[in-house]
Amino acid sequence: MEVGAACAAAGAAGLHLAGYNRANYFENLHLKQSRNFRKQQIVHSQADLFRADVEQAIGASSAVQDRLIVVSALLLGVTAHTNGWNLAANTRSFLQDIFYLCIGNAFLYFLVSLIASISANILARKCQKELLNNCVRPPFAEMMRDVDLAAELESAEAFERQGVSQVLRIPGADQLSGKKWESEEDWSKSSTNASMAYLIEQQISNELTFMEMQHDWDELQTYTPYFLVWGLRSLLNSFGFFALSHTYRAQKPYGFQVHIFYVIVVAGLSFISERLMATSRRVFALEIVALILCHVLCFYIAYQDRSSSEKLNFHSFNTCVLVAYAAQLVTVAIAQFRFAANAQNLDPTQGVSADVMSEGFFQSFCSTLTRGDSNFSLASSEYSMAPELVSAIRSEGDTKSIKLPRSQHSQNNVLNERWQHLSFVRIYVRKFCIFAGWAVIAVWLGAVIVQSGRVIKGIHRTEMELKDPLKPRRLDFAGADAADAVTVAVEVDGNRQLLRDLKTKTVAQLLEHVQPLTFWQRLQGKRLAVRDEEGVELSGLLPLESLAEHKLSIRVEAL
């Protein structure tokens, strides 16, 4: 009787413990599901925020790029239209050359800025497509599979399979025995927890991928203001030379005033260029001096031609032109240096890559002449540290990551391969920018070399004239009598010479012997014109007999 009562009491107590533990098991299961649901909500909210960040960042960047594309295209059209302008009829040929060279520089700079803007826009749109379609979508298949696999842990059979010790667990017995109860073991091994960890890790990976992509298109977008400023400066330089050419047209004085205005504006653009792409004050001072020196020399030549009774001699004229070309060469070389020091994804104090210049020399040169106060440069710490920061975070995350499904690894690899393929756009655009800068330098260097040859030739001619005074140069036709010849004083581009010609020869025949037009001048629609001391053009049919006492000037003019 007593034994039966004891067994009944023990059975009742066991049933009560089993019911207590069963109720607590499902209560804990409910709490765990609630916590897991909150975690999922947080991760999903983070994914939604990431999607909004991607759309907002790329949308704002694309809006800026669209405006830069429009500005670059408009300025490119203005430059192409300006190339058709004709300077004054009797303008010095060097002023025409430097005008068209500046127009060519502006056209190339605007073309580079347009290509950089379009490339940055393409990369940004591709980035948005890849991220929104492949990165921010939850793994629905894995989540459904996790729900199905977790169904066994959420059933009553799962409670019964725990064992008698867990089913009949006495509350507080674990504290007396000193054992640590590990009730989270089965749950921690479940695929649901692994799926949640994967979502968190994938979100971190997506943010790092977005940083890498944003760095690429931001770098290309930064190139556009660089070349826009330089192109606008070259365009305004050409406007200044065009205004200066008006001093040769009916001796109009306002050309000097307009020219000075353009020089002031160009100097202001150089200051903006210095603020955007900071180098050093010595480089900036050299740039300003070279820029002003070029315009001062052109101003001086035009002023002498306009107001002086005795114009510049041949040697002084060619020397001034040579210095003006050299000053322009210095300005474009400094522009290329600014691009190399500020837009190559490197710290300016560490130099630039070997694609730009020789590594050993240029690193020391940049470390001496650059400073880090640029307000708009990829050389700032915000952008130059981005690749290193992403690599460090990725390497640290790889050591702590958990095992992910093979399909997810392959998806990330495919995304990285796609973006590496798209990154070649940035590399090729950068190489094109470097090539364009060196092409401009090569053009001005060629102009300096050609003008140097003229200066050397003038020095040699001056030495010969000192030894042997200027004598008439014969251009007689065969079979004519020398007694019929006359001497005519002719000036060609500042070079004065005496030509001994026949009375029967006309002005048009004189032009064929003195200065024949080059192929490039004929292609531009130029012609040779003969003017007297008063600037009146002479007819080509006029015989030279009537011009024996005149001083003639031969100039290349537009049709």
State residue 89's pLDDT score.
Answer: 66
Residue with tokens 């290509």: 115
DSSP assignment of 396-448, as one string?
Answer: HHHHHPPP--HHHHHHHHHHHHHHHHHHHHHHHHHHHHHHHHHHHHHHHHHHH
Give the residue among 208, 225, 205, 204 at the shortest CA–CA distance from 120: 225
Question: With contact defined as beta carbons under 8 Å apart, do 281 and 227 qualify?
Answer: no
Q: Looking at the whole model, is its pTM more than 0.85? A: no
Gap between the Cα atoms of 519 and 527, Å rounded: 12
Closest to 90 in 3D by CA, of 307, 318, 245, 213:
245
**Structure tokens, 448:** 């300096």
CA angle (160, 166, 169) in 5-degree steps: 130
The predicted pLDDT at position 39 comes to 75
Residues of the chain within CATH 3.10.20.90 domain(s) are 473-558
pLDDT for position 107: 93
- Give the model's pLDDT for residue 330: 92
pLDDT of residue 376: 39
**The pLDDT of residue 485:** 56
Cβ–Cβ < 8 Å for 376, 364: no
Mind listing the pLDDT tens digit of every residue in the chain (559 residues)?
677 777 777 677 666 676 666 676 777 777 777 777 777 777 777 777 777 877 887 888 888 888 889 999 999 999 988 887 877 666 777 888 888 999 999 999 999 999 988 888 888 888 777 777 766 666 666 667 766 666 666 666 666 667 665 666 666 566 666 555 554 444 444 444 555 666 667 667 767 777 777 777 777 778 888 889 889 999 998 888 888 887 766 556 666 778 888 888 888 888 888 887 777 788 888 888 998 998 888 888 877 766 554 455 666 777 888 899 999 999 999 888 888 877 654 343 343 344 444 433 344 344 444 444 444 344 334 444 444 444 444 444 443 444 444 444 555 566 666 666 677 777 888 888 889 989 999 999 998 898 888 778 766 655 554 454 444 444 443 333 444 555 666 665 555 666 655 555 677 666 666 655 665 666 555 666 776 666 667 666 667 666 655 566 666 565 5
Question: Which residue has 């653009």 as its token pair?
Answer: 269
CATH pick for 473-558 out of 3.40.1160.10, 3.10.20.90, 3.40.50.2300, 3.40.50.2000? 3.10.20.90
Among the listed residues 307, 326, 302, 318, the one whose alpha carbon sits nearest the alpha carbon of residue 92:
302
Q: What span, in angstroms and rounded, lies between the C-alpha atoms of 457 and 318?
A: 10
